[in-house]
Structure 1
Amino acid sequence: MTLSLTDYIGAFSQSENLAALAGIGRGIERETLRILPEGKLSEHGHYYQLGSALTHGQITTDYSETLLEFITPVSDSPEQAISQLQDIQKYTFDHIEGELLWPMSMPCFVNDADKIPLAQFGHSNIGKMKTVYRQGLKNRYGSMMQVIAGIHFNFSFSQDFWQVQQKLHQSSGEKLSSLDDFISERYFSILRNYKRFCWLIPYLYGSSPALCGSFLQGKKHQLPFKKSPFGALYLEHATSLRMSDLGYTSSEQSSLPICYNNLNDYVDGVQDAIKLKSKEFAKIGIKVDGKYQQLNDNVLQIENELYAPIRPKRVAKAGEKPSAALRARGVEYIEVRALDVNPFSDTGITIEQVYFLDIFLTYCAFVDNKEFDCTRQKLHEENMKQVVLRGRDPELLLNDANCNGDVKLKSVVSWGNELFEQMDQVAQLLDKAYQTTKYSEAIVREQAKVNDASLTPSAQIVAIVKEQSLSAYALAKASEYQQAAQSRDYQFYDKAFFDESVPASHQAQADIEAADVLSFDDFLSDYFK
């Protein structure tokens, strides 16, 4: 028996189960470029006063020395997650010598992409591996792709939540295995639903329909860009160029048969991709003139190179590969990766967005989605591609294909309203669980964007670039957010916490370096066995 949305709503509406729903865990990873006050990319290395990029728990770097990444721990409320992120940014502003944080996903003016410095993580083998991996990314995809910033939203349900769900499925006559296996199965059902409905995320929150002309750096494309009077390039109906072929996508990965049917098939697909040779990447070479140009010449150097709008995750032990952690202990949480940096928010993501993501992902947990093959998955991915390039085009039709792959065309407005009518029930349930009205308010606010595309952030950005310089607008926002952060008091952490974490992180890096006994070549050989 397949359970319905009504079944899940009914079960969790019972007073004894509401508390299980109110145990959502959230974590945010925010990427942002350090820039100079005049708008150019900073050439300063990662500041010592921010701690070791290798070992600091809240502040690290992504691809480049200048691309910071802020990480919040798991929190049990949207307010706490945002406060943590604001505190991390406040401390950062106080230790980057007047530099600003670029408030958009697509980078600021970059004169020469080759001068973008790779992130450095010290002299340990693991630190060197991180830098060589980034060298490989540069050689494979170019530096400009690697300074695009995004928001990653980590989401998990409580153990109590899954126990309630398991009992519900047992009562419907299902034969179930262990709780851990059930949790992984249900997370993969969420992943499949996310793949089906994730076009809604760039539609609602895509904030990169325009870019600085310097971003292309001569890169060939077939996109019908318009040029604003102030030099920005934009697509009239685009939502998220960051998620397009110009951004975080890879043609080499597009043919990989990595599906979200179940844990073992997914892990098998990822591990096969790591072993799959690439003729294109082989042309780069691995170690050239004594210097590593990439970790290997496979389609994926390591698992992190898999670009996907969502990932199943499990915290790995020291030296453990992510896929091995998943295989051994199952899915612990999911990582939503389709979010642009919100330029209208000082943290790049608003608390209102967090409320909606709670609703959206809970809805994905309350709609059963049986296994689908890679062909159907490709149809869902095509919807995503259409929305990132022309999501606000009133003539756009998306394909909500069924299990047989039959065409079922829907407009953004019709499909969006269909989803919101169902998600409204989830919002009301979350309101009860958290004793608030924030979730119902989020539904009203976001559904308005479905019915009026001009309310979307992408439409607002297009309107801005037609009237003024996008760079000047972003720079003014960056300065505004700097001043606001420095005038704000700490809310969750305090200055002493960060002051103590910095030397501790440098000592932790030194300890790792001192513990190395293998040569780097031998270390890599052991890692990839």
Structure 2
Amino acid sequence: MTTLTLSDALNALSQPEFVGALSGIKRGIEREALRINPDGRIAQTGHPKGSGHALTNPHITTDYSEALLEFITPVSVNAEETLGQLRDLQKFTLAQMGDEMLWPMSMPCYITSQEDIGLAQFGESNIGKMKTLYRQGLKSRYGSMMQAIAGVHFNMSFSDTLWTSLAKIEGYEGPLQAFISDRYLGLIRNFKRELWLISYLFGASPSICKSFLQGRETNLPFNKVGKGTLYLEHGTALRLGNLGYTNSAQSSLKVTYNSLCDYVKGLQSAIRTKSELYSSIPDYRSEEPMQLNGNILQIENEFYSPIRPKRNTKAGETPTQALMRDGIEYIEVRALDVNPFVQEGISIEQIHFLDVFLTYCLLKDSPELEWEEQQATQRNLQCVVNEGRDQSILLDDAGNPVSLSEWATRIFADLEVVAKALDSAYQSSVYSKTIATMKDWVDDSSLTYSGRFVQMLKDKQMDGGAIAIDFAKQYKQQQLAGLYSVYSEKMLNELADTSFTKAKEIEENDEKSFKAFLQDYFEKA
């Protein structure tokens, strides 16, 4: 089998036999958003009943806390349709929320106490109680504040035509799914190497509310504005930093991406190995459990990673069992901050950029990523998270110090070529235009989301929370006044009603006690 360079792969895919193979990208978005009161504090009400049951509505649910909504679009090959679906789901839910609004930022609003962050409730079924106990475990281990952080997850897969075309071009004659899994892992390795670029361009959390620290000390060089907003002059995405959605206890987990077996082995080891830190916390066998179990990870979802290989699971199946059954089906990018400058939380330009960037990561040669190098990619990310818009910073490119602008310029040279190929496949010009726009952000960091938000803080000399509330009010008015574009109110009401019926059926069909249910689950995991 021939391993092609990026240039060779694009040249081969430009041949008449393979024209259009790069089209047909499938996408889905999961957008998280805290429900807030008009004064900007986290809502203390239950999940909006009119939006359906959190356990069984496939498109409107909650994440960690009862106030942290999650909107999930179905798979679509049309990027505009995906954004329309997201807009419709938010419009429908906002109509069920009274005077509450959606917090348009990743880092949480003003929170007096961690006790204000109530655990998400999923009903009295065994699976519903398991979901809540898992969240109780996260609270017991890491505190609630970290779990109030919101993000946007971008799910993406390539067309079957592209996979068969690449296999033919490279002379691969083995099982196609093994080829697909191997190439997705190559994509993930390249993504991790250059994840810092996503943080630089789209990081939108350069500031936090002082209440987020809850008395914790930090040596980050924060500036202060307003009553209690702390910001880093050159910061980009504190959500991805040591103060954000991270888990230092997982730093010793050597989960690698050089083969599917390596990845699965690393994760399964973590969910089966007792933790010295957490084993003393009462687990599901106790009268008053505070976590599912005392292992390094309670379940696989607890593993914090900016990108994951995924396959849709069957009933009772764990994510890694699904991967070992039939290989990687799609990838989930988890590194995106909520974009505060658009009502959906993610823009069409971001989607177009991710199409190009992930295609580039797929087609570019991807050597194995050993643990030491993987640690270096994390150090690069932390550098950009805290100082990304400082032109003097140096990153580690395979052991060589290089400026962010120099490395980014090299990447964009390749992205321009990939964008042209995607434009050819889609008979459009949007990809090349998007890359040309984003390339300017390398030279002028004030154009990035973090640069724009820091400038707003400095110009207005007001709290970031006050700016966010203004955005939230504006977006709620826009969404409630707008028309449905993909769904209809009738369709979403029916979906909500059906979710309550399904949740009741699940509760009625439980035949085991909660303890017996979990015992059986962990024996099979």
Which TM-score applies when normalising by structure 2?
A: 0.97
Give the corresponding residue for 1:213.
210
Give the corresponding residue for 2:374.
377
1:219 offset after TM fit, Å? Answer: 2.1
Q: Percent identity?
A: 50
Cα distance 1:287–1:508, how it changes in 2: closer, same or farther (>3 A)? closer
Amino acid at match of 2:436: V
1:176 offset after TM fit, Å? Answer: 4.5
Separation in structure 2 between the aligned mates of residue 492 and residue 95 of structure 1, nearest angstrom: 19
Give the corresponding residue for 2:330.
333
Question: What runs of 5+ residues in structure 2 fail to find an aligned partner?
Answer: none
Q: Aligned pair 1:346/2:343, yes or no?
A: yes
1:5 offset after TM fit, Å? Answer: 0.9
Separation in structure 2 between the aligned mates of residue 489 and residue 414 of structure 1, nearest angstrom: 45
Separation in structure 2 between the aligned mates of residue 19 and residue 494 of structure 1, nearest angstrom: 33
Amino acid at match of 1:65: E
Separation in structure 1 between the aligned mates of residue 174 and residue 235 of structure 2, nearest angstrom: 45
Give the corresponding residue for 1:15.
16
Amino acid at match of 1:441: K
Task: Choose which of 461, 464, 488 in structure 1 pairs with 2:482.
Answer: 488
1:289 offset after TM fit, Å? Answer: 6.5
Task: Choose which of 172, 176, 190 in structure 2 pairs with 1:179.
Answer: 176
Separation in structure 1 between the aligned mates of residue 474 and residue 285 of structure 2, nearest angstrom: 46
> Pairwise mapping of residues 45-444 of structure 1 onto structure 2 (< 5 A)?
45-170=46-171, 176-286=173-283, 290-401=287-398, 407-444=399-436
Amino acid at match of 1:168: I
Q: Is contact 2:104–2:345 with CA below 8 Å preserved after alignment?
A: yes
Separation in structure 2 between the aligned mates of residue 225 and residue 111 of structure 1, nearest angstrom: 21
Deviations 1:377-422 (A, max 9, x none): 1111111111111111111111111xxxxx2111110000000001
Task: For residue 325 of structure 2, give the secondary structure of its aligned residue in structure 1.
Answer: helix
Deviations 1:204-225 (A, max 9, x none): 0000010111111112332222
Q: CA RMSD in A?
A: 1.1
Separation in structure 1 between the aligned mates of residue 144 and residue 76 of structure 2, nearest angstrom: 33
Separation in structure 1 between the aligned mates of residue 427 and residue 81 of structure 2, nearest angstrom: 16
Q: Is contact 1:25–1:157 with CA below 8 Å preserved after alignment?
A: yes
Separation in structure 1 between the aligned mates of residue 218 and residue 465 of structure 2, nearest angstrom: 22
Task: Choose which of 504, 507, 521 in structure 2 pairs with 1:510.
Answer: 504
Task: For residue 439 of structure 1, give the secondary structure of its aligned residue in structure 2.
Answer: helix
Deviations 1:245-266 (A, max 9, x none): 1111111111101001011110
Q: Is contact 1:230–1:465 with CA below 8 Å preserved after alignment?
A: no
1:56 offset after TM fit, Å? Answer: 0.3
Deviations 1:467-524 (A, max 9, x none): 2221111101000000110111110111111010111000001111111111111111
Q: Which moved more, 1:299-308 or 1:456-465?
A: 456-465
Task: For residue 279 of structure 1, give the secondary structure of its aligned residue in structure 2.
Answer: coil
Separation in structure 2 between the aligned mates of residue 441 and residue 419 of structure 1, nearest angstrom: 16
Give the corresponding residue for 2:515.
521
Q: Is contact 2:42–2:116 with CA below 8 Å preserved after alignment?
A: no
Separation in structure 1 between the aligned mates of residue 463 and residue 243 of structure 2, nearest angstrom: 21
Task: For residue 291 of structure 1, give the secondary structure of its aligned residue in structure 2.
Answer: coil
Task: For residue 498 of structure 1, give the secondary structure of its aligned residue in structure 2.
Answer: helix
1:14 offset after TM fit, Å? Answer: 2.1
